[in-house]
Amino acid sequence: MQLGVIGLGRMGQIVVDRSLDAGHDVVAFDLSAEATAEAAEAGAEPADSVADLCDRLGDEMRIWLMVPAGDAVDATLEDLEPHLDADDVVVDGGNSHFEASLRRAEATDAAYLDCGTSGGPASAEAGFSLMVGGPEWAYEALVPVFDAVATGPAGHDRMGESGSGHYVKMVHNGVEYALMQAYGEGFELLADGRFDLDMESVARTWNNGAVIRSWLLELCEEAFREEGNDLGDVADHVAGGSTGTWTVQEALEQEVPVPLIYQALAERFDSRNEGRFSRKLANRLRYGFGRHDVKRVDE
C-alpha cells in the first residue's frame, strides 16, 4: 500500500524504513530537507511540503504523523485539513495526551488513529509495540503497515475507541517508571550492601531464567558493561516527558491508587538533588531503550 509519513526524526525514519522493507510505497516529508533526503536515499518518494505529499498520495490517503506531541501535531493537521476527507486515515504515532487525541479525532475530517508507540530507536530492527485507538475500519485499513512497523501481527492491536491508544501508552509509561525505579533500588542495595558484587554478572544471571528477567534488565547488564560497576560518570539525573505525570494525574482523577508509579515520578523530580545510584541507572537505561542522551556529572 501507499503511505505518507510526516516527521522524519529517529522514530519517523524507522517507520519509513520498516514500511519500505515490507514492500510498501512511502512518500516522506519533514521540515528538515536533510531528513527528507535521508528518507529518499532509503527509497521513499520525497515531498517538499504537506500539500505536495497529499498530491502524491492521491485518493484515500493513509498518512502517519511522527512529529513531537503538542503544537506540532495541531500545526500539521491544520496544513492537512484542506486535503482530507472521510475516506482518509491519519495516524498520530507520537506521545500525545489522550484528551488531545479525542479532540483531534472529533475535529479532523479524516479517520484519526491515536497510536501509542513503544520500543524506541533500539527497536528499529525488531519492530515496535503499537497501541491503536480509533475507528475499527481505519485500523483494519492500516493493518498491513502496522504489521510492518510493529514486531508483526502480535505487536499491535486496536485498544478501542478514539483516545484509547494514547491512554494505554500513557499508563504503559507509568509502569515503565515504576519498573526502572524497582531495578534501580535493587541494584543500589547490592552496590551498597554486604558483598563486593559484579553488577553486570548479577544482571546477566537474573536475566537467564529468573522471575524478574526483562528487556530493561538486559539494558541494566549493558549499562554496567559499558559504564562500569559503579556507572562511572553517569549523572544522578533522570529526564523524561510528561507521560508519567499524566498517569498520576489520571489516577487521581479516577481515584485509583498508584503508589509505586507516583513514587517513581517523585524520584525523578527529586533527581535534581544529591546523587543516588538508582537514578544514575535509570538515566543510563533511557539511553538503552530510547537512545536518549546520557547526562554526565560534569554537564
Three-state SS at 110 = coil
The active-site residue out of 34, 81, 106, 176 is 176
Question: What is the b/e burial string over 149-172, where b = at least 16 CB atoms within 10 angstroms of the residue's CB?
Answer: bbeeeebbbbbeebbbbbbbbbbe
Nearest to 13 by CA among 35, 33, 31: 35
* 169 among known catalytic residues: yes
- The grid coordinates listed for 186 are 535493587
The single-letter code of the amino acid at 176 is E
User: Cα–Cα distance between 265 and 246 in angstroms, integer?
Assistant: 10
C-beta of residue 219 within 8 angstroms of C-beta of residue 288: yes
- The grid coordinates listed for 6 are 510526516
**CA atoms 227, 206, 208, 265: torsion sign:** negative
Question: Cα–Cα distances in Å, from 35 out to 9, 10, 13, 78, 177?
Answer: 7, 9, 8, 22, 31
The active-site residue out of 38, 60, 81, 169 is 169
* 200 among known catalytic residues: no
**CA torsion, ordered 123, 124, 129, 133, to nearest 10 deg:** 140
C-beta of residue 71 within 8 angstroms of C-beta of residue 37: no
- The grid coordinates listed for 150 are 510493529
Catalytic residue positions? Answer: 169, 176
